[in-house]
């Protein structure tokens, strides 16, 4: 009846207009490039169940419009996101320069713990490159982001981007850094977690307390 | 020789004596078939001595099987619990494992009927407990089905495999669980039954317990470590509990498998699950404790929020997400309204009767607090943490509406920008698309996961965000309204919501103008809140009559508990017993004796001394009673100038009880409308307006004084500056023979009527004649009417429609109409346009014909005697069609006072039909002087 998964993660895809956010999502979900993509209106939604480190995780992905006029609408979707793909276009310095703003938005509005992966999209257009891999990876390092260059056209690194983000969140859950039971964590247990996670509820809180020591 | 004969005779005699003394045969017949039927009744009655005696010297085969099911006497004994006979038969060599035609052994039958002693004896004689009948059932299955734990306990020691399966793979534990026999289940478990054993379809004992809501049994299984396993179709025990609405069993499942809580919450998104069952379950779980209550609400709020956001994603299915969101919010509001269970009642499972009142009290306190908080803070719920997730959705909603407001501004500021013309076309197309979209219920495969239907490609660069999002946002607004309302005491509109509507007034109006269906689909709040309703009234009135009727009744009956139950047994005391010879008085008495609530639930009428009851009698009652109401003897209503319509009599006070009677008349009319019964009265246009609370105008005067109406018309039509009329804002009336000057407004006697203020004068004079003179009567009537029909609902209609609602659709005889029609200004009956006109009229629906009649004559009724008797402003005036030169797009017009249709000379029947219908649907009410 309902599909089974261990966890559900709420993801965001953010970044300036025209960087290929919707195409990344489409590639991830449909495994093909989205021709004639238009500007997203408001926020779009997609989901896919993936397997990460032996766990099934349902990714609930909110693909936001990059256009300024939708900014206040899209912001209202940020809260409670566990992970985000922050997308810029390697052929457009403007979209790269805007990253700081997007990042501040995400960290203040979503959650300070949000796991963000920086995606330099349109890797296939290397000839028109305006942002080098090096400077972007330096930016990522300074801001504690993971970094990948992706191509929604060829599909290169697209899956990796989403999966990497999910994997880090899972690690944080295992280490107790993230508590799925906390409200607004952007994480929910799925049906399947019943079988693997039969430990009493007290355990998780204990873990957390140990971490805090 | 003699001796032998004597001896034989003696034997015979003694046999005869014995037989006579015992009143039965004393010797078994030779053949088994006859013998067995002799023995059977004795075995059944456990007459073991007789049986023993009969069997003593006979050659009867104790294993002889007889009857349709081929049972032996041992079966019979076991079945009936005839233990002595059973032993006797066993001793005589009966086979304890003999199987009848269905494969049942005596032990099966003994087990099925709980014959403890027989079972014991059969076991002593080595009956095999492991034999299956043809369905695979063994003795322990039988014991388990009926919960015979004690017997099972004895038997189970002899059983080699307690998990023996029947043909469906069911073990004794399965059947015991299904039937909820707790001790039996325990006994089987103690005997080593497999607690997780699946049957052929993968159903486990826990599954069986849940499928029948066996709470205690589920509890036992879970505490013994039963696994939570779905069947082969993926249906889980929780699914079964929810399908059956077994809240208690759900609660037990959740207690043992905490994660199921989320699963339960997620189920609210599943369209296949019955909402009432789900609500029942949620209700139960929420009442377990305060924390349960809070957790359920928080989780429901989270799911609702996710769903709301999905709904606002343009690629999602509007239909599916909208339904899902509203369902979740309905459940949320239901649980919220329950309030938390009272704190010291947590372990009680809510069984005791004291609970409700106590939690009610608690709820009231919470409500009170909420109201105060809201009043203090204006618009926040500081005291309700579980509303927090929903705040995200409302925040998004707010942002969306702000965005759309900006879009509207932008469109307005540069209406002639380069993109306009093309985008206008695009937006028209999109609007069309949107309609198709919501109308055709796109049945997308629900496997939305691997699929993301990005339809946005088709949209023109997001130009028309508004039409793409309007219905989606409207559904979220409806959800918002529901959530706001559930925080408020019944019948109060939340200040927060009112503020919301005020803030987004412009956008909401824009939505409704673009797609008025939204009102019916999502803006239910309008009816519950008159101050909000008035903002949208003009748009509502523009909707088809039929849609408004549906809406009207939907809301009118919404509060009735059993509105769907048509055939309710009638309580003898609730029958209105009416005397035919004093119908008015006795009806008045009976109705005033009954309560409004009862009358709303249903009316049953019986005439004194008559048998008849039922809908026909009710209809007759309304019919003749309405005729009595206008009976001149009561002086309540007077006939108007046209002779067919009525309005309150300004002199009705000759009847000292008149105001009570008016109230009664109002009640009857309201009641008739409530129960969709038609009455046999037609009121004047102005009185319908009074019922609706619409101001009257000078044309309405013609119904009581056509000459005077003409004069008023004349004043308005002509410049009165230089006429020297010397009119003031006052009128002279005859009060008991003395002429008195009555001012139309304060100081009116000294205010002159001029060209500039003549319109006001006409209006005031009209009100004096039409309203002020009968104000007390109107008020009394409305007081009665409103007991059944709330003013906010009746507002949905105009005076013409109210007439149709109250008095029904008149039959229109087109032939008669055609025969009594005259033609002027160049038309004659042979004219093609006239031929086309009648062809079109014949093709119209009954409702449209009435509209056409109303359009031309101002009345929906054909006079008694047919169209020949149609009245105009001054005497008989036949229906007339006049020619008007055709220019493109010209619509037909009419002069109602002379029953004239001004029909342009249309070039074809199609054009005529099209224009006529436009005129009928837009213009059958409301006058402009043409």
SS3 state at A84: strand
3-class secondary structure for B732-781?
Answer: EEEECCEEEEEECCCCHHHCECCCCCHHHHHHHHHHHHHCHHHHHHHHHH
Radius of gyration (Cα) for chain A, nearest Å? 17
Tokens 């659709």, located at residue: B809
Exposed/middle/buried for residue B886 (C-beta within 10 Å: 0-12, 13-18, 19+): middle
With CB atoms and an 8 Å threshold, state whether A1 touches B309.
no
Separation between Cα atoms, residue B575 and residue B269, nearest integer Å: 46
Q: State the pLDDT at residue B203.
A: 92
Which two structure tokens, joined as six digits, stand for B123? Answer: 């076991």
Cβ contacts of A47 on chain B, cutoff 8 Å: 448-449
- What would the pLDDT profile of B757-774 be if each residue is shown by its tens digit? 888 888 888 888 888 888
Among positive and negative, which fits the CA dihedral B725, B727, B733, B734?
negative
pTM of the model: 0.70
Tokens 């008669």, located at residue: B816
Per cent of chain B over pLDDT 70 is: 85
Tokens 């032939």, located at residue: B815
Compare all CA atoms of chain B with the CA of A64 and give the residue at the minimum distance.
B313
With CB atoms and an 8 Å threshold, state whether B392 touches A80.
yes
With CB atoms and an 8 Å threshold, state whether A189 touches B298.
no
Of B507, B544, B253, B514, the residue nearest B403 (C-alpha):
B507
Of B267, B312, B450, the CB nearest to A42: B312
**Residue B584 vs residues B125, B439, B648, B785: alpha-carbon distances, Å:** 87, 50, 17, 17
Kindly name the residue from B486, B588, B897, B922 that is annotated as catalytic: B897
Q: Does B897 participate in catalysis according to the annotation?
A: yes
- What would the pLDDT profile of B484-533 be if each residue is shown by its tens digit? 988 888 777 888 998 999 899 889 888 888 777 787 778 877 777 777 77
Compare all CA atoms of chain B with the CA of A200 and give the residue at the minimum distance.
B258
Cβ contacts of A1 on chain B, cutoff 8 Å: 234-236, 239, 270
With CB atoms and an 8 Å threshold, state whether B403 touches A72.
yes
Q: What is the mean pLDDT of residues B621-630?
A: 86
Neighbouring CB atoms inside 10 A of B136's CB total 15
Read out DSSP for B16-46? HHHHHHHTS-SS--SSHHHHHHHHHHHHHTT
Question: Residue B423 above 80 pLDDT?
Answer: no
With CB atoms and an 8 Å threshold, state whether A42 touches B469.
yes
With CB atoms and an 8 Å threshold, state whether B228 touches A43.
no
Of B228, B310, B400, the CB nearest to A194: B228
Of B544, B527, B547, the residue nearest B535 (C-alpha):
B527
Rounded to a whole number, what is the distance in Å from the CA of B520 to chain A's nearest CA?
26
- What would the pLDDT profile of B223-269 be if each residue is shown by its tens digit? 998 999 888 888 899 999 999 999 999 999 998 888 888 889 888 98
Q: How many CA atoms lie within 13 A of B775 on its CB side?
A: 7
With CB atoms and an 8 Å threshold, state whether B462 touches A41.
yes
Q: How many CA atoms lie within 13 A of A203 on its CB side?
A: 7
Mutation site, A37, A39, A46, interface B, largest B CB count within 10 A? A46
- Name residues whose C-beta falls within 8 Å of residue B403's C-beta, 6 or more positions apart in sequence: A42, A69, A70, A72, A73, B465
Separation between Cα atoms, residue B281 and residue B756, nearest integer Å: 69
Cβ contacts of B408 on chain A, cutoff 8 Å: none
Cβ contacts of B402 on chain A, cutoff 8 Å: 72
3-class secondary structure for B127-151?
Answer: CCCCCCCCCCCCHHHHHHHHCCHHH
Of B151, B145, B229, the residue nearest B181 (C-alpha):
B145
Which two structure tokens, joined as six digits, stand for B79? Answer: 């079945």
Rounded to a whole number, what is the distance in Å from the CA of A148 to chain B's nearest CA?
24
Q: State the pLDDT at residue B211.
A: 92
Which two structure tokens, joined as six digits, stand for B385? Answer: 């943490």
Question: Residue B313 above 70 pLDDT?
Answer: yes
Compare all CA atoms of chain A with the CA of B232 and give the residue at the minimum distance.
A1
Q: Looking at the complex, does the CB of residue A18 fall below 8 Å from at least one CB of chain B?
A: no
End-to-end distance of chain B based on CA atoms, in angstroms?
138
Q: How many CA atoms lie within 13 A of B189 on its CB side?
A: 21
SS3 state at A177: coil
Separation between Cα atoms, residue B275 and residue B682, nearest integer Å: 45
Report which of residues B483 and B525 the model is more confident about: B483
With CB atoms and an 8 Å threshold, state whether B454 touches A3.
no
Per-residue pLDDT of chain A (213 residues; tens, 9 = 90+): 456 788 889 999 999 999 999 999 999 999 989 888 888 899 999 999 999 988 999 999 999 999 998 999 999 999 889 999 999 999 999 999 999 999 999 999 887 789 999 999 999 999 999 999 999 999 999 999 999 999 999 999 999 999 999 999 999 988 888 887 776 677 877 765 544 333 333 333 333 333 333
Q: State the pLDDT at residue B568.
A: 54
Which two structure tokens, joined as six digits, stand for A178? Answer: 């993230």
- What would the pLDDT profile of B786-840 be if each residue is shown by its tens digit? 999 988 788 888 888 888 888 876 778 888 888 889 898 888 888 888 989 999 9
Mutation site, B317, B404, B454, interface A, largest A CB count within 10 A? B454
Separation between Cα atoms, residue B283 and residue B277, nearest integer Å: 10
With CB atoms and an 8 Å threshold, state whether B310 touches A75.
no
**Residue B224 vs residues B165, B180, B206: alpha-carbon distances, Å:** 21, 16, 11
Separation between Cα atoms, residue A151 and residue A20, nearest integer Å: 9
Which two structure tokens, joined as six digits, stand for A114? Answer: 């949000």
Separation between Cα atoms, residue B330 and residue A149, nearest integer Å: 46
Q: Looking at the complex, does the CB of residue A191 fall below 8 Å from at least one CB of chain B?
A: yes
- What would the pLDDT profile of B266-281 be if each residue is shown by its tens digit? 889 888 888 889 999 9
Q: State the pLDDT at residue B717.
A: 87
Separation between Cα atoms, residue B122 and residue B109, nearest integer Å: 11
Which two structure tokens, joined as six digits, stand for B298? Answer: 């928080």
Per cent of chain B over pLDDT 90 is: 24
Exposed/middle/buried for residue B611 (C-beta within 10 Å: 0-12, 13-18, 19+): exposed
Beta carbons of B706 and B712 less than 8 angstroms apart: no
3-class secondary structure for B389-404?
Answer: HHHHHHHHHHHHHHHH
Q: State the pLDDT at residue B878.
A: 85
Supply the DSSP symbol for A199. S
Give kind and range of the element (H or E) at residue B872.
Answer: strand B871-872
- Name residues whose C-beta falls within 8 Å of residue B660's C-beta, 6 or more positions apart in sequence: B588, B780
* Confidence bin at B414 (pLDDT 50/70/90): low
């Amino acid at each position: 009846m309902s599909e089974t998964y261990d966890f559900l993660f709420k993801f965001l895809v953010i970044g300036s207009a025209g960087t290929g956010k919707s195409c990344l999502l489409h590639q991830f979900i449909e495994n093909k490039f989205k021709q004639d993509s238009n500007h997203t209106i408001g926020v779009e939604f997609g989901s896919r169940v993936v397997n990460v480190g032996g766990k099934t995780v349902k990714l609930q992905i909110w693909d936001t419009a990059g256009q300024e006029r939708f900014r206040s609408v899209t912001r209202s979707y940020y809260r409670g996101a566990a992970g985000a793909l922050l997308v810029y276009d390697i052929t457009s310095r403007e979209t790269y320069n805007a990253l700081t703003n997007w990042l501040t938005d995400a960290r203040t509005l979503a959650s300070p713990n949000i796991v963000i992966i920086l995606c330099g999209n349109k890797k296939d257009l290397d000839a028109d490159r305006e942002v080098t891999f090096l400077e972007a990876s330096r930016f990522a390092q300074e801001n504690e982001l993971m970094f990948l260059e992706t191509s929604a056209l060829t599909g290169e690194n697209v899956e990796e981007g989403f999966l990497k983000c999910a994997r880090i969140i899972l690690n944080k859950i295992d280490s107790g850094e993230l508590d799925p039971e906390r409200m607004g964590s952007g994480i929910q247990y799925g049906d399947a977690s019943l079988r693997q996670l039969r430990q009493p509820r007290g355990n998780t809180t204990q873990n957390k307390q140990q971490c805090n020591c | 020789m003699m001796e032998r004969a004597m001896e034989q005779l003696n034997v015979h005699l003694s046999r005869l004596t014995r037989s006579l003394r015992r009143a039965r045969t004393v010797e078994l017949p030779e053949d088994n078939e006859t013998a067995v039927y002799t023995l059977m009744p004795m075995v059944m009655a456990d007459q073991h001595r007789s049986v023993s005696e009969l069997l003593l010297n006979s050659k009867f085969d104790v294993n002889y099987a007889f009857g349709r099911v081929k049972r032996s006497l041992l079966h019979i004994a076991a079945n009936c619990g005839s233990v002595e006979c059973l032993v006797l038969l066993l001793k005589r060599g009966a086979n304890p494992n003999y199987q009848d035609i269905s494969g049942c052994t005596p032990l099966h039958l003994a087990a099925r009927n709980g014959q403890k002693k027989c079972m014991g004896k059969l076991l002593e004689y080595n009956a095999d407990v492991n034999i299956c009948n043809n369905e695979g059932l063994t003795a322990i299955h039988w014991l388990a089905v009926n919960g015979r734990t004690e017997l099972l306990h004895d038997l189970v020691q002899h059983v080699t495999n307690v998990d023996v399966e029947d043909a469906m793979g069911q073990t004794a534990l399965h059947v015991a669980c299904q039937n909820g026999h707790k001790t039996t289940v325990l006994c089987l478990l103690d005997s080593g039954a497999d607690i997780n054993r699946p049957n052929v379809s993968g159903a486990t004992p826990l599954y069986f317990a849940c499928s029948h809501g066996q709470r205690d049994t589920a509890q036992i299984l879970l505490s013994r470590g039963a696994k939570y396993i779905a069947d082969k179709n993926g249906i889980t025990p929780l699914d079964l509990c929810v399908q059956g609405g077994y809240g208690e069993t759900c609660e037990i499942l959740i207690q043992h498998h905490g994660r199921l809580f989320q699963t339960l919450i997620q189920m609210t998104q599943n369209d296949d699950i019955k909402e009432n069952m789900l609500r029942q379950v949620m209700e139960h779980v929420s009442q377990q404790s305060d924390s349960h209550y809070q957790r359920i609400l928080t989780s429901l709020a989270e799911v609702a929020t996710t769903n709301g956001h999905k709904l606002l994603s343009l690629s999602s299915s509007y239909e599916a997400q909208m339904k899902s969101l509203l369902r979740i919010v309905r459940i949320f509001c239901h649980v919220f309204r329950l309030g938390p269970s009272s704190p010291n009642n947590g372990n009680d499972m809510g069984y005791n009767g004291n609970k409700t009142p106590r939690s009610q009290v608690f709820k009231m306190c919470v409500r009170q607090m909420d109201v105060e908080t809201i009043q203090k803070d204006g618009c926040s719920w500081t005291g309700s943490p579980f509303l927090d997730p929903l705040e995200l959705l409302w925040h998004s909603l707010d942002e969306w509406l702000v965005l759309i407001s900006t879009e509207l501004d932008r469109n307005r500021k540069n209406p002639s920008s380069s993109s306009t013309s093309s985008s206008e076309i695009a937006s028209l197309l999109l609007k069309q698309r949107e309609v198709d979209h919501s109308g055709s219920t796109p049945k997308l495969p629900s496997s939305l996961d691997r699929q993301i239907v990005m339809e946005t490609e088709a949209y023109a660069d997001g130009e028309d965000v508004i039409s793409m999002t309007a219905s989606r946002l409207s559904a979220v607004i409806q959800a918002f309204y529901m959530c706001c309302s559930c925080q408020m005491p019944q019948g109060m509109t939340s200040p927060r919501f009112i503020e919301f509507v005020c803030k987004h007034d412009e956008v909401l109006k824009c939505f409704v103008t673009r797609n008025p269906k939204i009102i019916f689909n999502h803006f239910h709040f309008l009816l519950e809140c008159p101050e909000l309703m008035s903002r949208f009234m003009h748009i509502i009135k523009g909707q088809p009559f039929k849609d408004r009727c549906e809406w009207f009744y939907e809301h009118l009956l919404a509060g009735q508990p059993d509105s769907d139950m048509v055939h309710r047994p009638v309580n003898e005391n609730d029958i209105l017993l009416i005397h035919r010879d004093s119908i008015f008085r006795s009806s008045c008495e009976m109705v005033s004796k009954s309560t409004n609530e009862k009358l709303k639930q249903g009316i049953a009428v019986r005439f004194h001394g008559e048998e008849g009851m039922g809908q026909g009698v009710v209809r007759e009652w309304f019919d003749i009673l309405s005729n009595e109401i206008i009976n001149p003897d009561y002086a309540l209503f007077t006939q108007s100038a046209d002779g067919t319509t009525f309005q309150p009599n300004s002199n009705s006070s000759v009847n000292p009880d008149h105001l009570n009677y008016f109230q009664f008349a109002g009640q009857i009319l309201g009641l008739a409308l409530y129960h969709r019964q038609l009455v046999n009265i037609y009121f004047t246009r102005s009185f319908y307006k009074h019922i609706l609370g619409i101001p009257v105008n000078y044309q309405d005067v013609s119904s009581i004084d056509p000459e005077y109406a003409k004069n008023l018309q004349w004043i308005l039509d002509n410049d009165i500056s230089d006429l020297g009329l010397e009119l003031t804002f006052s009128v002279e009336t005859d009060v008991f023979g003395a002429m008195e000057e009555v001012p139309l407004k304060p100081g009116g006697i000294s205010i002159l009527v001029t060209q500039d203020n003549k319109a006001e004068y006409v209006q005031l004079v009209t009100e004096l004649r039409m309203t002020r003179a009968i104000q007390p009567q109107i008020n009394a009537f409305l007081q009665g009417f409103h007991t059944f029909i709330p003013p906010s609902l009746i507002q949905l209609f105009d005076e013409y429609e109210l007439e149709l609602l109250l008095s029904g659709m008149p039959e229109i005889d087109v032939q008669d109409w055609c025969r009594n029609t005259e033609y002027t200004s160049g038309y004659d009956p042979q004219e093609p346009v006239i031929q086309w006109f009648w062809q079109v009229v014949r093709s119209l629906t009954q409702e449209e014909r009435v509209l056409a009649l109303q359009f031309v004559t101002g009345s929906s009724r054909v006079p008694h005697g047919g169209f020949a008797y149609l009245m105009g402003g001054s005497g008989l005036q036949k229906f007339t069609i006049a020619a008007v030169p055709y220019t493109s797009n010209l619509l037909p017009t009419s002069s109602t006072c002379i029953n004239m249709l001004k029909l342009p000379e249309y070039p074809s029947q199609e054009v005529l039909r099209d224009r006529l219908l436009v005129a009928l649907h837009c213009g059958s009410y409301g006058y402009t002087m043409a």
